């Protein structure tokens, strides 16, 4: 889905939902709280926040929490994802999250923001070119 298919108001709404979700983050180690809001083709929004763990590998990012909630509710057709973090640059999905997202929506619209109001918009395939996907497993 291209950026022009989501209105400015829809993008702002997703960013607001991600910012609200960020408030629930559990980040006692990094103190880097992230919120995500995933818009599905059905129009539903699933939110997530990062959840850290003393065993760092068990930590789960906000983006994957939102996707897990959507998939567990039977949704697999994703339109856009907003990510908000308190950082100097708009929050961006990490490499693991990019790979996780490409499984469902290689051209997912990414709306990345920070608490200072900076926003960057792009498509997932721009941030993860030549992604490893199911085509490699045939």
pLDDT of 2: 43
For 59, counting Cβ atoms within 10 Å of its Cβ (0-12 exposed, 13-18 middle, 19+ buried), the class is: middle
pLDDT of 87: 96
Which entry of 52, 63, 75, 135 is annotated as an active-site residue?
A: 63
DSSP secondary structure letter of residue 60:
B
| Beta-bridge mates of residue 45 | 39
pLDDT in tens, 20-78: 999 999 999 999 999 999 999 999 999 999 999 999 999 999 999 999 999 999 999 99
CA dist 84 and 113 (Å) reads 5
Q: Any idea where the domains of the chain sit in the sequence?
A: 7-127
Q: Side-chain half-sphere of 27: how many Cα atoms within 13 Å?
A: 17
Q: Which of 88, 22, 84 is nearest to 51 (CA)?
A: 22
pLDDT in tens, 91-135: 999 999 999 999 999 999 999 999 999 999 999 999 999 999 888
Which token pair is 51?
Answer: 């959840």
pTM, two decimal places: 0.94
| Beta-bridge mates of residue 121 | 111
Verify whether residue 4 is a known catalytic residue: no
Domain 7-127 has CATH 3.40.50.300: no
């Amino acid at each position: 889905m291209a950026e022009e298919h989501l209105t400015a108001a829809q993008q702002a709404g997703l960013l607001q939902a991600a910012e609200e979700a960020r408030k629930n983050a559990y980040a006692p180690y990094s103190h880097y709280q992230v919120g995500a809001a995933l818009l599905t083709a059905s129009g539903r929004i699933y939110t997530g926040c990062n959840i850290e763990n003393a065993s760092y590998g068990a930590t789960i990012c906000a983006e994957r929490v939102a996707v897990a909630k959507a998939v567990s509710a039977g949704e697999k057709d994703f339109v856009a994802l907003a990510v908000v973090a308190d950082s100097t640059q708009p929050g961006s999905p990490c490499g693991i999250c990019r790979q996780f997202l490409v499984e469902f929506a290689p051209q997912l619209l990414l709306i990345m923001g920070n608490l200072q109001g900076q926003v960057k918009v792009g498509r997932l395939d721009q941030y993860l070119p030549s992604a490893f996907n199911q085509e490699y497993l045939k």
